[in-house]
Structure formats: structure tokens, C-alpha cells
Amino acid sequence: MADNSSVSASPEKSPFPVPAEILNYIITLLEPHDVWAVYRTCKYLQYIINFGDNELLEFLLQSELAPRCGGGISLFVGPNFNPNPDLKAWEDHLWVCSGCMSLKGHLHFNNHSLLQLAYRKPDPATSKNPLTTWTPTLRGKKWGQERSKYAASNASERLGAKRRHRLCIECLFLAGRLNNQPWSPHGFRGGTATTPIVVSRSVRYVSAMERYFPDLAEFMELPEPTDGLYAYNRLHGQTQRWILYMVRCPTCSVWQELKSFRVGGTFARWTPTHDGTGLVRPHGGLNYEAFEIDALRCNICLSREHGFGLLCVDLQDWYHLLMKFAKFELDLQLLEGWSVIKTHQKQFGRKYIKDIRRILQGMTRMYAKRFRPNSELSYEQLALVQFRHREFSELWEKIMETDSHVAFGNLGPGSRFMVWLENFDKYMVTWHWLRACQNEINIHPCILGIWGLRQTRLPYQDGRALPQLT
């Protein structure tokens, strides 16, 4: 029988009008997760069930395999069983931390605790051996000694063998196991001793704007384009894998994603590094000031210390910095095709060279000026670019009817020139949408503050509150 001193003494009176034997029988008919919910109801039911530490851990390990905790749904896709890049697929899953004895979401664990074979959740439908066996008694559960014998002979038997040793990032931090700061060419990774930074999942995003301001369109009156945003900075519009980083706020000691601290980089492989003293210098395409990692404050802490207005201003500055880089990339995509046409204009043939040079007037010069600091396309310049593109598209259709042999090499299918020619209208839609978003934020900067406060806290943040799984 389990020993639990906190519930060792029987309550004076049962709040239920049924004998303890009937309650015990009813509890045996429940699913593991439901028994855990019943156990947390009152002291009398804690006395009836009487979990000990080992029994509670084993029972929670059974609970994480229940359908309501995501058990049985694979999070690894493809022939190589890579982690699913869709973040929403992970949000319905809960994992057990053996340190704080609680069920938590995926952002509370590092990659080692979730992705390694021995720490993954096995499929309950194919799991041959139960974690434990138990039979009901009058007072509590009599836990058997039979546990899974995971051999190391093959991968299927190693799957989930070390789940009982899985720890969340908070328990790892309290145990002093997050102090390692490996060095990279840009500096030291992993944060500092007081403000650790842990690598988390990799998620596909269209751009840096979407990565650091996800779901912002839901807080704005301006809807997204009907066809979605186009990945203007990628060939053929593919999304990129961006790495998420969990940061422990030095003020409230709550783990949150990096987007809640208003810092980051503009390319997918950017990593938060420092010089060894906690000072992060700008790199990765953004011209921001150096900052101290230990001086970071999450959105909620910044709002509490300095007011909601300063939070809105800080988020607005961060938003405009990312918007500036997004507009720079998009303008280059709108003008890139003209540089290719000028370089390979002889490939079109002599009879089209006059028309091509007429269309190119001013376009290549505009492309070269775009690399100057603080320069961006105006609405008048964009209208001219759009008109020239329409002219060239008509000329290209004529060329394809009579001289289709010119479409090869840098002008052939799959080239950056063809991507520009075919997706120019998508670039235009995205250009106007980004400008409209910037105008709305300039008028109503409080949108960013409301978004920031609602994005900050993690689900099941305390780790011990039972999630509402219905």
C-alpha cells in the first residue's frame, strides 16, 4: 500500500452518501486520466485512492497515453519520422514531468525530452506491456510489481523506455542542468545562468514577421489575403523552418517563447548568442541596439513595471523594425526580374531587343537604388513597375508563340526569372497588405499591446492545474 503522509489520516466524515467500497469500485471503472482528476477533487478521495510518489508517476504515465492527452496520435511524419513542423499538432498533447509530477504541454520540454526515442510516448494501441498493474482494495490501490521490460534489442522496444526520467525545463533549471553554454562563431549560446534560453520546436513560417508576430491578423480589422501570404523571400514560395526558443523571464520566472521578449533575427537559422557576459550584439540582418539577456522582460512584466503604454511603444518599435526588413525583401523580389532580363537580354534575339530596352528604362536603376539605406518603393514607383511588368508579360507571350527556344537556362522553367514572372501579382498583393498593416498599427498601436499580453503566458503554465480536456 502506498505511503502518503499528507492523506494518511482518514477524514472524520465522508461527503458522499455511499460506502467507501462502492466509491472504490466506481473509481476502478474510470480511465487513468479521470482517476487523476478524481484524486484532485477532495481530501476524502485522496484518502480513498492514496497515491504515493511512485504510484502517481506510473499513473500519470498511463494518463499521457489517453486520447485526451494526445496519446495514439503520431507527431512524427515522413519516412524518416521527423517531428511534425505544424505547431498545432503538438498543442493537443500533454507529457509527464517526473520532477514536478504534472502533465504539461510541449513547450515545457526541450527537444531531448520529447524527440529522443526513449522519451517519446509509445502508441497505446501497439504497446504490449502495461506500465504497471493494480487491483482495487478497500483503501487505495494495491500496485503490482509488474512493469514494462523494455529491452535494447530494437527500436520498437526502446520506444518510451525512459519516460519516467523525463524532466521539464523548469525542473532541469532548478537541478542546475541548464548551465552549459556552448560556443559558436557568433558567441555563446544557451543564455545565462539566471536567464537560460532553451532550443524548442522548429515551425514553418512564411517570414520573420509571421514568426515573431503570429496570429496578429486576428487582432486587426484588416483580413489576410484570401490566398494567404506568399513567402516572398523564398524561391517558389516555400515556407521555412524557424527554431523556437524558450526563455525564463528573470522577473516572473515563467518560461515563455522568444517572441514575448521583443528580440530576434530575420533569418531562420538565427540563434540568440552573447559575448560571454550576457551582452547580445546585433547580427542577422537587424540593426538593433545591443541588449543584456538578464535585462529582458516579458510582455506582462514590462507592462507591470512601466505601464501598458510603454509595452505598446516597445512592441511597435520591434514591429516596425521587422516591417522595414520585410519591405526591403519584398521590394527586391518585385525588381529582381528586371536585373535578370537586362543581364540576358541578348538571349531574346535581335528582333525583340528594342522592345526589351524600352521596357527596361528606369527599372534596373530602380533595382540598384533599392540597396541604399532607408530607401523603399513608393506607390508611384510601384505603379510604374506594375505597368512595365504587364508590358513585358504581353511581350513574353508573343515570344513564346514564335520563339519559345529562348526559354532556357536563367530564363527557363523553374528559374528565378520565371518565379518572378509568374508570381508578380502575389508579390503585389502582399506589398499592399503589408503597407495596410503598418498604417493600421500606426493608428492603433494598442493592438500590439493586447496581442502581446495574450500571447505571453503558456497553457497549463503552473504545470499542476488539471487542463480542461473535454
**Per residue in 168-227, pLDDT tens?**
999 999 998 887 777 777 778 888 888 999 998 888 888 888 899 988 888 888 777 766
Q: What is the pLDDT of residue 370?
A: 64
Residue 452 exposed, middle or buried by CB count within 10 Å (0-12, 13-18, 19+): buried
**Whole-number Å distance between alpha carbons of 45 and 91:** 30
Considering only the C-alpha atoms of the chain, give the largest distance between any 2 of them, rounded to a whole number of Å: 101
Query: What's the rounded Cα separation, in Å, for the pair 317 and 313?
Result: 6
In eight-state DSSP terms, residue 200 is E
pLDDT along the chain (470 residues), means of 10: 45 76 81 74 81 74 81 71 78 88 89 87 59 41 39 58 89 86 76 90 85 88 67 59 90 91 85 83 60 89 93 93 86 84 84 87 74 74 90 89 78 82 86 90 93 69 35
pTM of the predicted model, to two decimals?
0.78
Q: How far is CA 438 from CA 1, 218, 317, 404, in A?
A: 64, 15, 12, 42
Quick one: CA dihedral 214, 219, 220, 222, positive or negative?
positive
Tens digit of each residue's pLDDT (9 = 90 or more) over 351-402? 888 888 888 887 877 777 666 656 788 888 889 989 999 999 999 888 888 8
Which of these, 199, 200, 218, 216, lies nearest to 208 by C-alpha position? Answer: 216
Amino acid at 415: S
Give pairs for 254-259: CB < 8 Å, separation 24+: 254/298, 254/457, 254/458, 254/461, 255/107, 255/108, 255/169, 255/170, 255/198, 255/458, 256/298, 256/456, 256/457, 256/458, 257/107, 257/200, 258/197, 258/212, 259/211, 259/212, 259/213, 259/214, 259/455
Residue with cell 511588368: 389
95: β partners: 104
pLDDT of residue 196: 92
Helix, strand, coil content of the chain in percent (nearest 5): 45, 10, 45
> What contacts 43, CB < 8 A, 6 or more positions away?
7, 11
> Which residues share a beta bridge with 96?
103
- The answer to whether the beta carbons of residues 432 and 230 sit under 8 Å apart is no
